[in-house]
Amino acid sequence: MNAKALLLCLLVSPLAALAQAPVIQISGANFRPLPLALSTPLVQGTESKATTQPVDDALLFDLRASGLFQVLDRASFLADAKEGMTAGSINFSRWADVGAESLVKYSLARDGSELKAEARVFNVGNGREEFKTAQSAPATQPSLLAHKVADAIYRYYTREPSPFLSSITYVRKSGKNKDVWVADWDGRNARQMTSGGINVLPALGPDGVVGYTSYQEGKPDLYVQKGAGLTRLKTNEGQMATGIAFSPDGKRVAYALADGESAQIWVANTEGGGARQLTDTRFGINTSPAWSPDGKRIAFVSNRGGSPQVYVMAADGSGVRRLTFQGNYNQTPSWSPRGDLIAFTARDERNAFDLFTVQVDSGKISRLTQDQGDNEEPSFSPNGRLLIFTSKRAGASQLFVMTAEGNNQMPLPSPKDKAEITTPDWGR
Amino acid sequence: MGMGSNRGGSGRVTMSEINVTPMVDVMLVLLIIFMVTAPLIQQGVKVNLPEARAAAVEASDKKLVLSIDAQKRIYIGEAEVPAAELETKLASNAKAQADKELYLHADRDVPYGVVVDVMAAAQRAGITNVGMITDPTTAARAPSSTKGKKEARR
């Protein structure tokens, strides 16, 4: 639509024009990332300059990683550095000349202990301001402010919540210790949850609850940390409990309980009470439970067919169905919050680990990674559009993010010591 | 050439380095250059376009226009860009990189060397098609101009 036609449309029917505001087609054959220019922030006052860089870094990362935008290289920009934030002060032809279709201008200012941002989204084609948002965060949390701004932009373009305000958990190796950490979705603002020993397979539940498997009493047991309170789940004594997974409503947990040669999937409440065994294969191993978004089904890994494969069953253990048939080693399922897909790790004929998704209804498999070192342990974002995973493509195992179709693979900002990071879980 | 100094000596013939100059010429020739008619191009700064009677293709107003004015100032669209930054600006420009094409809108009085420098920068930035914008209307009148008469007499 050219500018004249749009103007006519606006004059004739303002409501119709609003209804036609752009919604990015997120996936599918017609998807094309929107060329977007994020201007450097206009800094108001001197105090906020020190926090400008972290906000800008996090905002650029969110927009790039979203997979929705082709975030344009600032080295190409032609606009006057002193250009303002209102449509009248912007020379749109200079933004069109760098290929931008969307322009985001934003400013930062300090207000006492608060950091404030104002962002405006312009349509470069017709020179109109389409959307604006004002956000604030404590000055000590510049990346939180960036996530709020990015979330507002994402919602404007998709009418969907973004994953930018969510958290992840993972295990970080340090010497002989393995500890559970919780961080913002992009790995920034990381907090250590355990202090030494072997703590593995963490999971995030609703309201910031963290569960994990710890060897602090010599054998693996399940722990749940809620605020400052830490509880050990009362699982069957003497057995090895691993791999806690919170149900979407946060009221139940699934886990694997191993005794000698077999491991079975159990479900209990979050204190460990009312435990119920779901699988019963005498010598088989059943492990890695993952809940469906409605809490009615559980995906898990079982070697009952001879090799580890992904299976699905009802949350009461009935109706077990094998979902993957390709390859001889499929593991670590993560059920998409949209319900349709399960992502998993598969070892291929060259002994490389790569990521795939399988459609729960049809069993159709899609490959997401290839020829980029070992890629493992996928976990879906809360909106099901992105996947976090670990990759050894650059050496030690590090966190990466990509779209659910396997596009736009990017490393998360890694810790300075390049510590090995494994088993991420993206909170809902 | 490097080979000459060894002739008649120990009998060994050493070629220490390849003369790269002809290769650079070949690389520049690999640019696809075509003529573009001016009237459709409303972008960029005002320059006195050279006249040409070559067959011209129709221009698309969506392509990036690179201008060089009579003072040898370089512009992308209407934004002036220092010559030293031109390659970076073009290499990072999503529009230029998507099309691999731009239109060169150079004043007739700009020395050939400046135009070649700009074309070489564009080529290094990965742009393979350069459209030379000319003025077809004056080209039609060209034989009657003083310059045309002088050239005709020679």
Here the ipTM equals 0.79
Q: Residues 10-69, chain B: which have Cβ within 8 Å of A?
A: 43, 64
Q: pLDDT at residue A335 above 90?
A: yes
What pLDDT sits at residue B145?
A: 40
Mean of pLDDT values over A224-250: 90
Contact B90, B120 (CB under 8 A): no
Of residues B57 and A350, the one with the higher pLDDT is A350
**Taking the complete model, does pTM exceed 0.90, yes or no?**
no
Phi, psi of A210 (to 5 degrees): -120, 130
pLDDT given at position B16: 66
Residues of B in contact with A91 (CB under 8 A): 78
Domain B67-133: assigned CATH number: 3.30.420
**What mean pLDDT comes out for the span A15-28?**
60
**Which residue of A70, A74, A97 is in closest CB contact with B77?**
A97
pLDDT, position A313: 97
Provide the 10 A C-beta neighbour count for residue B113: 9
Q: How many CB atoms are located within 10 Å of the residue A144 CB? A: 21
Integer Cα distance of A21 and A28 in angstroms: 20
pLDDT for the residue B8: 43
Residue B95 C-alpha, separation from nearest chain A C-alpha, in angstroms: 4
* Number of residues written out for chain B: 154
**pLDDT-based confidence at residue A4 (cuts at 50, 70, 90):** low
Query: Is the pLDDT confidence value at A422 over 90?
Result: yes
CB contact set of A275 (below 8 Å; sequence gap of 6+): A235, A236, A266, A267, A268
> What's the mean per-residue pLDDT of chain B?
74
What pLDDT, on the 0 to 100 scale, is given for residue B137? 61
pLDDT value of residue A410: 96
Higher pLDDT, A186 or A10: A186
Closest by alpha carbon to B107, among B37, B19, B46, B58? Answer: B46
CB contact under 8 A, B76 and A97: yes
CB contact B84 to A (< 8 Å): no
* pLDDT surpasses 50 at A347: yes
* Preferred mutation among B89, B99, B105 to probe A, highest tally of A CBs within 10 A: B89
What integer pLDDT is reported at residue B38 of this predicted model?
A: 60
The beta strands (E) that lie in A280-374 are given as 286-291, 297-302, 309-314, 321-322, 330-335, 341-347, 353-359, 365-367
pLDDT for the residue A236 = 78
Q: Could you tell me the domains of chain A? A: 34-158 (3.40.50.10070), 167-425 (2.120.10.30)
pLDDT on residue A390: 97
Q: Which whole number is the average pLDDT over A360-374?
A: 94
The whole-number pLDDT of residue B45 equals 77
Per-residue model confidence (pLDDT) at position B36: 74
Q: For residue A243, what pLDDT is reported?
A: 95
Residues in B closer than 8 angstroms to A75, CB to CB, are: 88-89, 91-92
Query: Distance between CA A267 and CA A315 in Å, rounded?
Result: 8
Residue B152 pLDDT > 50: no
Residue B78 to residue A94, Cβ atoms within 8 A:
yes
Query: Do the beta carbons of residue A172 and residue A178 sit within 8 Å?
Result: yes
Taking 60 as the threshold, does the pLDDT of residue B4 lie above it?
Answer: no
Neighbours of A347 (CB within 10 A): 18
Q: Is the pLDDT of residue A170 over 90?
A: yes
Mean pLDDT computed over B79-90: 96
Q: List Cβ neighbours of A13 (8 Å cut-off, separation of 6 or more).
A: none
CA B125, CA B128: separation in Å to the nearest integer?
Answer: 9
Evaluate if residue A371 carries a pLDDT over 70. yes
pLDDT tens per residue across span A204-221? 998 889 999 999 988 999
Asked whether the predicted pLDDT for residue A319 surpasses 90, the reply is: yes
pLDDT, mean of residues A342-368 = 94
Least confident of A26-30, A397-401, B23-27: B23-27
Per-residue model confidence (pLDDT) at position A324: 94
The DSSP result for A10-64, as a single string, is: HHH-HHHHHHTS-----SSTT---EEEEEPPPEEESSTTHHHHHHHHHHHHHHHH
Does the distance separating the beta carbons of A97 and B79 come in below 8 Å?
A: yes
Beta-carbon separation of A98 and B81 below 8 A? no
